[in-house]
Amino acid sequence: MKLIYVIVRNIDSGDVTAALNKKGYYVTKLASTGGFLREGNTTLMIGTDEEKVDEVISIVKKACGPRKQIISNPVGTGEYTSMNVMVNVGGATIFVTEVDRFEKI
């Protein structure tokens, strides 16, 4: 048995959770903080059999894969002006750990 921790942007958490649920995976959702652009994160916990880990990771990749986003970045001194900058957003950080015991009550 494996426990998969998936850390995604708050914006992506609904899509990831829905995609996992659609394939029959139960997901526990935790609020978390950190990350680039000062946006909130969500940590998802998924318990599954070892042979299904690659499928879970594939679902996550499809639901929240990396993409480009334009952000306004203040530049200059005194009077601030903004400059649009293209950055990479999305994606996920995934940890897979061994679980000695799992019970659903």
For residue 72, the Cα-to-chain-centroid distance in whole angstroms is 23
What's the pLDDT at 81?
A: 66
CATH number of domain containing 8: 3.30.70.120
Q: Are 20 and 46 in contact (CB under 8 A)?
A: yes
What's the pLDDT at 84?
A: 80
Structural domain tally of the chain? 1
Instruction: State the residue range of the domain holding 38.
Output: 2-98
The token pair that represents 99 in the structure block: 């679980």
Give CA angle at 42 (39, 46), nearest 5°: 160
Q: Is residue 9 part of a domain?
A: yes
What's the pLDDT at 23?
A: 97
Q: Is residue 104 part of a domain?
A: no
Whole-prediction pTM: 0.77
Q: Is residue 16 part of a domain?
A: yes
- Using the Cα atoms of residue 40, residue 99, residue 2 and residue 27 in order, give the sign of their dihedral: negative
pLDDT of the chain, 105 residues: tens digit per residue: 999 999 998 889 999 999 999 999 999 999 887 765 566 889 999 999 999 999 999 999 999 877 777 777 666 565 666 778 777 767 899 999 999 988 878
> CA-CA distance, 11 to 15, in Å (whole number)?
8
Q: Is residue 65 part of a domain?
A: yes
What's the pLDDT at 30?
A: 93
> CA-CA distance, 95 to 7, in Å (whole number)?
9
